Amino acid sequence: MRAAGWGAMAALGGDGLRLLSVSRPQRPSESAALGGPGPGLCCWVSVFSCLSLACSYVGSLYVWKSELPRDHPAVIKRRFTSVLVVSSLSPLCVLLWRELTGIQPGTSLLTLMGFRLEGIFPAALLPLLLTMILFLGPLMQLSMDCPCDLADGLKVVLAPRSWARCLTDMRWLRNQVIAPLTEELVFRACMLPMLAPCMGLGPAVFTCPLFFGVAHFHHIIEQLRFRQSSVGNIFLSAAFQFSYTAVFGAYTAFLFIRTGHLIGPVLCHSFCNYMGFPAVCAALEHPQRRPLLAGYALGVGLFLLLLQPLTDPKLYGSLPLCVLLERAGDSEAPLCS
């Protein structure tokens, strides 16, 4: 074996860095073992399949011609239809990839994509808890700025009428339900199984989010169309959005691999959509700046400390992507242990 220095993402830090620093073994017999084409062709097929999925997902948003902005309920409803159709058909791309490459995952397609019952409760709770810990500072900031106390807030959250209003709000459905579910299905559950046999789990964690980040560039079109800002600011905003969506995509890809479930990334995605990007500048100018900044620092520190134990694969049962790599001859993938 020879070590290939696949760097880890600084944002994950700590033990997460050790986990994502992958030593990728050389697998000269991979093609023969899998009964498919050579690894070079396999990689080209995988990358092209992922690119096709990303283009189909974004393209589905623009099949409807409209002069209305993206937040208009009529536009959102139409996009719901097209995105749900594309997302429902996306597993067919994985099936086609399997036929073209000859790779046999050793598990069912649904299991490989994170639809399984084994370990589902910790897979739903622990990644969400980990993400909420990371957002400890913004959560403190939200509670400080909220005019109601905790008891009143819980009453509002648990009230059936509040949920009824949410379920009839098209923007809420888009941001908290449809976007997290369809994006994680297409950009994680479908892409990671195709990329992992080609390049290994660690590199796939960082490659997969690139498709996710680039897919968000389509917002430039609408911002330019409706003149929402200057051209320079629009492109600067798009570059910033690409950066944090790529980092977030790497995090949810990491969760998908380590838990073997789709539900954790979906819930974390929904939570992050609700919270938005942390308002660090507002925190620096907040009247209670010191405890708030301490909360930010504590949240990041606890996140790095708990990243490995809360995503320990032993909590979630057999990991489908790890089974896939074992069949490909890579039995020492660090993310699998």
Count other Cβ atoms within 10 Å, centred on residue 167: 11
**What's the gap between Cα 101 and its chain centre?**
25
**Is 216 an active-site residue?**
yes
- 223 to each of 58, 179, 217, 251, how far by Cα in Å? 16, 19, 10, 27
Helix ranges, 29-119 (H):
30-34, 39-60, 73-101, 109-112
CB neighbour class for 155 (10 Å; exposed up to 12, middle 13-18, buried from 19):
exposed
SS3 318: coil
Please say whether the beta carbons of 328 and 320 come within 8 A. Answer: no
Residues with Cβ within 8 Å of 184's Cβ and at least 6 positions away in sequence, in order, are 252, 256, 262, 265, 266, 269
Are 325 and 336 a contacting pair, CB within 8 Å? yes
Amino acid, res. 202: G
At 199, the amino acid letter reads: M
Q: Is 183 a catalytic residue?
A: yes
SS3 for 107? Answer: coil
Report in angstroms the alpha-carbon separations of 244 from 146, 172, 226.
26, 21, 24
Cα Rg of the chain, angstroms = 21
Place of tokens 């992507």: 321
Marked catalytic residue, from 216, 218, 219, 286: 216
Which one of the listed residues 183, 184, 261, 269 is annotated catalytic?
A: 183
Catalytic positions, please? 183, 216
